[in-house]
Amino acid sequence: MTFRGSAAGPPRYESYKESSTSLERSPMSKLIHYYHPMSRGARTQALLDTFNIPHEAVVIDYTQGEHQSPDYLRINPLGKVPALKHGDTIITESGAITLYLADLFSEQMNTPAPGTPERGRMYEWIFFFQTTMEQAAAAAFPPGADKTPIREKLKSLLQSASTRFIGPYTVGDNFSLLDVVLFVEFSWYKMMEVWPSGLEQYEQFMKRVGPRVVLTALTPG
């Protein structure tokens, strides 16, 4: 795994505010990703970085309330990260951003073609994470003794899902966006210590794709 980010880090929200007028006039091709390294935005940022997609990364520090500022609420009225601005188009919801990027940059990301079994597999994992897993993971915070049942559930869900895992990569023989999605998601569950031990297919996968994923350090930006 490559942890990326200079000492100065990506541009902070301040720099977005200063230049917002010119950014709004940017050409359609300009991508601006609003995220925080300790958020679901780490996954969409990893996609942009791993596949070398030109973009501007803007950290929205929700720990400092930047997600509730009037400027950011114009980007995402829900006050959540991540969000993606593409010209005049704004996409929120990390799963939607993932699928939007997958279609825009299908060649670089090795996105499976519509209507193929691999495309179905891609949807399956992304929706599994966004709905079943992340809803349960959110309920596991803040940690405490009473969270043991939900943590056991997370572990057991991951264990069951492993039977759906086919290698060497998640959609066949080539490294794709879905590998990045799984790697980042799995890293979170390892960090939360709800990672099922002894599942060789997961362990091999993490070792295989880790060196190829560019993941912004999972520490506050």
Ligand X SMILES: N[C@@H](CCC(=O)N[C@@H](CS)C(=O)NCC(=O)O)C(=O)O
**Contacts to ligand X by CB under 6 A:** 39-40, 62, 67, 79-82, 93-95, 130
Q: Cα(179)–Cα(171) distance, rounded to whole angstroms? A: 8
Kindly write down the DSSP assignment for every residue of 177-214, as one continuous string. HHHHHHHHHHHHHHHTT-PPTT-HHHHHHHHHHGGG-E
Residue 206: CB atoms within 10 Å: 17
Q: Which three-class secondary structure state does DSSP give residue 92?
A: strand
Distance of closest approach, residue 158 Cβ to ligand X, in angstroms: 18
CB of 8 to ligand X, least distance (A): 23
CA atoms of 185 and 194, how far apart (whole Å): 12
Determine contact, residues 35/16, Cβ cutoff 8 Å. Answer: no
Q: How far apart are CA 103 and CA 82, in angstroms?
A: 18
How many whole angstroms separate alpha carbon 106 and alpha carbon 116? 14
Instruction: Please identify, using beta-carbon distances, which residue of 39 and 176 lies nearer to ligand X.
Output: 39
Size of the chain in residues: 221
Nearer residue to ligand X within complex by CB, 130 or 176:
130
In whole angstroms, the minimum distance from the beta carbon of 139 to ligand X comes to: 13
Q: How far is the CB of 83 from ligand X (least distance, A)?
A: 8
Which residue, 95 or 221, is less far from ligand X as judged by CB? 95
Residue with Cβ nearer ligand X (97 or 157): 97
Q: Which is nearer to ligand X, 130 or 175 (CB)?
A: 130
CA distance 115 to 119: 6
| Shortest reach from residue 3's CB to ligand X, in Å | 19
Distance CA(91)–CA(83), nearest Å, equals 6
SS3 state of residue 122 = helix
Cβ proximity to ligand X: between 10 and 82 the closer is: 82
CB of 72 to ligand X, least distance (A): 10
